[in-house]
Amino acid sequence: MTAALTAQSARTLTLKECVELALGNSAQLKKARLDRQGVDLKLREARSAIFPQISGVINVDYFPILPTTFLPGEPFGSSSEFIPMQFNQPWQTTGVARLDQAIYSEAGRRLAKTADVSRALYDLLTERTEDEVVYNTATVFYQSMQTEQLLRTANANIDKLSTLQRMTELQLANDYAIPIDVKRVQVARANLETQRANLVNTIRYLHQTLQFLCGLPFDVPIEPVSEISSPSADSIRFAGYTLDVTQSVEHRLLEKNIALHRLRKSSLNAEMLPDISAYAMVGTQAQGTDAMLYDNKQRWYSVAAVGLKLNVPIYNGFRQNRGSDLLEVEALKLEADREALFQGKELEYRQTLSQLEGARQLLKNQEANVGLAREISDKLMLQYREGVVSLTDLLTAQTALSEAETNYWQQVYGYKLAVLKFLKASGRLDELR
């Protein structure tokens, strides 16, 4: 990074360091990990249903009119068939403590199997988020390196034109050149100055983006550094790579989602099966003619009970059937996505591999082109000093060299980006960590 971009010492960062910082500070990744923790908490919440459920209730009731009960009249010597009678007192207090314990529920047993699948699913979501963070960070890193190299090339060309401008001004002073020659050099230099200013702004933007991805403060300047690997060595290494779609994060996510839908459907179907639970209850009751129920004179009567409860669902309006059909449709959609994934991943792999080979060949061609353009420019510079060629020919040659160098460095990092896309398509982004 140039002195124009920062007045203080910049922090150098390699690609590996940027990736490590991004993985440690990514808000998106932190959220994914919190979602994973949330799954464990939800599973614990669901498991709490198998533990005893204890509740306590205290009721204070007032009956302005007591309920009437009809009793047979014969035991009371009455000629009437039934005698209306009122029991209890207007004020009643009841306290009950109850314990319920689920013994067997087929729906709950089947649903419990989703715990491991849910954990694995969110682990894969976290892994996918990590890959996205690595890919985005590496992309910005290489774009930043590419733009900085273009800035170095522009600075070098500006220095060449500055030297040429001084030479032309000296020739003009000695009547070996005309004013239009000096102006031509000034125009060419002004164009490069504009290009340089745009590159400086682009670098500042990319550095800020990289600082954001890495969780670094914006007031601390950074300087990405990277070694350019040999394309031929990369080709040998990549030749041994093969595509295994079943090991991709996307395929494993679909597999877990399908399994989860199947388990949920099985659990939903089991809701129509009986479940058994046990209960125990103990309580006490007091009655009186006024609200002073806690007077020492009041008499309290206790009650206790234990038992088993068998719940047999008979008809629920086919709610379970409708829900089961919906889950089956969702599972079939996921299976269709899985089938399409194989073709999609194969297409992506083949396209990125073709792009990689094309980028490698273009880089080779551009490297040869830069050498040729530099050779022509150097020869014309010598001939210009000797007065053999015109300034126009020299400027044309230097413009061609500038374009060749720009294209070369664009292709260098275009190749690196092609490598990045290939690693993503082949599921090997972990090599960047």
| CA angle at 137 for the pair 244 and 347, rounded to the nearest 5° | 30
Residue 338 has pLDDT above 50, yes or no: yes
**Cross-strand partners of 352:** none
Confidence of residue 230 (pLDDT cuts 50, 70, 90): low
Whether pLDDT at 7 is above 50: no
What was the pLDDT predicted at 278? 94
CA atoms within 13 A on the CB side of 93: 13
What is the pLDDT confidence band of residue 78, given thresholds at 50, 70 and 90?
low
Q: Taking residues 271-287, what's their average pLDDT?
A: 89
Residue 339 C-alpha from the chain's centroid: 23
If you search the block for the tokens 């010598």, which residue do you land on?
Answer: 382
- The residue-averaged pLDDT of 138-149 equals 91
232 pLDDT tier (thresholds 50, 70, 90): low
Tens of pLDDT, residue by residue over 160-189, are 888 888 888 887 787 777 788 888 888 988
Instruction: Kindly give the pairing relationship between strand 68-72 and strand 82-86.
Output: antiparallel
Q: What is the DSSP letter of 52?
A: -
- Please check whether residue 303 is in contact with residue 282, taking contact to mean a CB–CB distance below 8 angstroms: yes
User: pLDDT at residue 73 above 80?
Assistant: no
> Looking at 92-101, 291-300, 420-429, which range is the least confident one?
291-300
Structure tokens at 65: 């009119």
Say if residue 240's pLDDT is above 50: yes
Residue-level pLDDT at 165: 83
Say yes or no to pLDDT of 197 above 90.
yes
CA 294 – CA 178 distance, rounded (Å) = 118
CA distance 404 to 370: 5
Residues in the chain: 433
Q: What mean pLDDT is reported for the chain?
A: 85
Residue 308 bridge partners (DSSP)? 278
Q: What is the pLDDT of residue 243?
A: 83
Contact 223, 10 (CB under 8 A): yes
Is a pLDDT exceeding 90 seen at residue 193? yes
What crossing angle do the helices spanning 114-173 and 391-425 adopt, rounded to 10°?
170
Q: What is the pLDDT of residues 261-278, one digit of tens each?
A: 888 888 888 878 888 999
Closest by CA position to 94, among listed 62, 52, 53: 62
pLDDT of amino acid 5: 44
- In this predicted structure, the answer to whether residue 3 has a pLDDT above a threshold of 50 is no
Kindly list the structural domains of the chain, giving each domain's residue range(s) and its CATH number in brackets, ordered by start: 11-432 (1.20.1600.10)
Residue 216 near residue 21 (C-beta atoms within 8 A): yes
pLDDT over 90 percentage in the chain: 32
3-class DSSP assignment, residue 389: coil
Of 265 and 99, more confident: 99
- Per-residue pLDDT, 99: 94
- What pLDDT does 229 receive? 62
Q: Are 223 and 13 in contact (CB under 8 A)?
A: yes
Average pLDDT over residues 52-65: 90
Measure the CA–CA gap between 116 and 249, rounded to whole angstroms: 17
State the sign of the Cα–Cα–Cα–Cα dihedral 200, 201, 207, 210: negative
